[in-house]
Amino acid sequence: MVSVRHLAASDVDAAVTLHLVVLDMEFLSRFGPSFMRTYYRAWTTTPGSMSFVALDDTGALIGVLLGATDPATHVRAMVREHGVALARAIVIAAATRPRLAKDLVVTRAGRYVRGVGRLLLARFRPTAGEPSADAPRIGEVTHVLVDPAAQGGGVGRTLIDAAIAFGREAGDDELVLVTPPDLAARHFYEALGWRSDGAMTSRSGEPFLRYRYSLR
Ligand SMILES: CC(C)(COP(=O)(O)OP(=O)(O)OC[C@H]1O[C@@H](n2cnc3c(N)ncnc32)[C@H](O)[C@@H]1OP(=O)(O)O)[C@@H](O)C(=O)NCCC(=O)NCCS
């Protein structure tokens, strides 16, 4: 029997351990456990985020979902409240991993710096870039991962159901996500009724497939 609840600070170590096993191919995972613990801790407190864990009947953590009901608010809060700790963890990780440092500079450094600059600017012009009141409210799922030993048993579905219910309650009209084309996860999202919305390339040059789920 699987149960789902919000991610708590006490879940962070187990969630990071699972993340680094299941999504070891992800760029984020290359920063290592210390950065990932800072990142997960940030997720437990930032406004606009949604974060769930799935537990088995012994209470062991067997799945995680991270996302945001209000991605813009969530990113701003991440930078404002945790930006310094995250930047410090990135610098420490890059200092001990030269290959990671090189890939970081080549694919992401300029974009990260520009993004933080835009967010700082927005503090002085608080209404700049805010969506109009009648724009659709779009939440997003950024990570879903299930312990390999528990995959295929409905845990992923339970986590997605929790995100759908939470997004609806928060007033979202739709949820979106992207997934790499080479991952079997796209079959999972299709089985759960997500609508394929074409391919895209991230600003860091990686290919992704887009999916949407209407909450109306
Ligand atoms: C993708 C993932 C989250 C799915 O979780 P799960 O607990 O294994 O999935 P569920 O058992 O809840 O499956 C729900 C439905 O999706 C289908 N499904 C799940 N994985 C599938 C796959 N690889 N191929 C085809 N269908 C799949 C199931 O058959 C099921 O459909 P059904 O109820 O109609 O039979 C999990 O396999 C995982 O962590 N994979 C590795 C990490 C990953 O790729 N994450 C997503 C990218 S960020």
For the cut 90, the answer to whether the pLDDT of residue 132 exceeds it is: no
156 Cβ closer than 6 Å to some ligand 1 atom: yes
**156-204 pLDDT, tens digit each:** 999 999 999 999 999 999 999 999 998 889 999 999 999 999 999 987 7
Question: Sign of torsion, CA 205 209 214 215?
Answer: negative
* pLDDT tens digits, one per residue of 63-100: 999 999 999 999 999 988 998 898 898 888 888 888 88
146 ligand 1 Cβ < 6 A: yes
Distances 186 to 40, 133, 198 between C-alpha atoms, Å = 24, 32, 12
User: For residue 64, how far is its CA from the centre of ligand 1 (angstroms)?
Assistant: 13
Ligand 1 centroid to Cα of residue 157, in Å, is: 7
Q: Is 154 in the pocket of ligand 1 (CB under 6 A)?
A: yes
For a pLDDT cut of 70, what percent of the chain falls above it? 89
166 against 124, higher pLDDT? 166
pLDDT at 129 over 60: no
168 CB under 6 A from ligand 1? Answer: no
Say what the pLDDT of residue 131 is. 67
Q: Global pTM? A: 0.89
Q: Model confidence over 29-44: pLDDT tens digits?
A: 999 999 999 999 999 9
Distances (CA, A) of 169 to 37, 165, 174: 28, 6, 12
pLDDT at 143 over 60: yes
How confident is the model at residue 104, as a pLDDT? 76
- Does 141 have pLDDT greater than 80? yes
CA contacts within 13 A on the Cβ side of 144: 25
Q: What is the DSSP letter of 206?
A: -
Which residue, by CA, sits nearest to atom 27 of ligand 1? 188
Report the atom number in ligand 1 closest to the C-alpha of 159. Answer: 12
Q: What was the pLDDT predicted at 203? A: 75
Domain 3-214: assigned CATH number: 3.40.630.30
| CB 37 near ligand 1, within 6 Å | no
> Is the CB of 99 inside a 6 Å radius of any atom of ligand 1?
no
Cβ contacts of 106 within 8 Å, gap of 6 or more: none
